[in-house]
A = this chain, B = another copy of it.
Amino acid sequence: MQVEDEGIAPPTALIQRRTLHEQVAERIRDMIIEGHLAPGARINEAALVESLGVSRTPLREALRTLAGENLIDIRPSRGSVVRRLTPGDVASMLQVLAELEKLAGRLLCERATSEDVAELQAAHAAMMAHYARRDRLPYYKLNQAIHTRIAQLCGNPVLAEIQSGIQSRLKRIRFIGNRSPEAWANAVREHEEMMEALAARDGARLGEVLARHLMNTWDRVRDVV
């Protein structure tokens, strides 16, 4: 489940070969998500070339990739800027996510194998352990991973792709987002309900909970955007 493999690689693991512009895109993506590149900020190619130690070609290709992900805007001849998310944008994304995850929930209940269910339940249990310790960051990561996994397992690859795209655009917001203890508890309760519905293979209910969960997420983050 999207675990960073920090461990020792098996001897036969294929050695990772990544092109330079891929790595550059990832770095810039992280810089945006973690706020080192502020929304609305102009991206200076020369400065980034300097600090990353690459030439302009891979940097520019990376910028195109990020533009494709809607993380930046490229204005011809006038440089790139980090796209600014308005509250309306965030609400729109959550609304679409809610609709898509509702569909994913329905589909998942129809086709999930027992291994799929077990995997999600394991992730849920781990997340609850983090919640017990009020360990925000790992909780948050598993939370995202569970939603992503539901979309991946539902059998509709297009849905999964769009879901993860929106999710990553929202990452920055949720990363900052700070919840009150009650709001957090509510979110946890919704996750419990999801697991119940999944165990019962109740697609309609799972879809409904997922949609409600995401609409509530809007209330939980609306003041930080």
Chain A residues close to B by CB (< 8 Å): 17-19, 22, 57, 60-61, 64-65, 67-70, 76-77, 88-89, 92-93, 95-96, 99-100, 102-103, 156-159, 161-162, 166
**In the complex, what distance in Å separates the CA atom of A175 from the CA atom of B114?**
41
Residues of B within 8 A of A102 (CB): 99
From DSSP, what is the main secondary structure of chain A's interface residues? helix
**In the complex, what distance in Å separates the CA atom of A89 from the CA atom of B99?**
19
Decide yes or no: A93 and B158 within 8 Å by CB, A64-B61, A68-B65, A99-B103 being known contacts.
Answer: yes
Asked if A157 contacts B92 (CB within 8 A), the reply is yes
Asked if A159 contacts B95 (CB within 8 A), the reply is yes
Asked if A158 contacts B92 (CB within 8 A), the reply is yes
Residues of B within 8 A of A159 (CB): 92, 95-96
Residue from B60, B64, B96 in contact with A68 in the complex, judged by beta carbons closer than 8 Å? B64
Q: How far is the CB of A151 from chain B (nearest CB, A)?
A: 11
Residues of B within 8 A of A158 (CB): 89, 92-93, 95-96, 166
Residues of B within 8 A of A68 (CB): 64-65, 67-69
Please give me the residue from chain B that is nearest to A94 by CB atom: B158
Q: How far is the CB of A130 from chain B (nearest CB, A)?
A: 30
Residues of B within 8 A of A95 (CB): 103, 156, 158-159
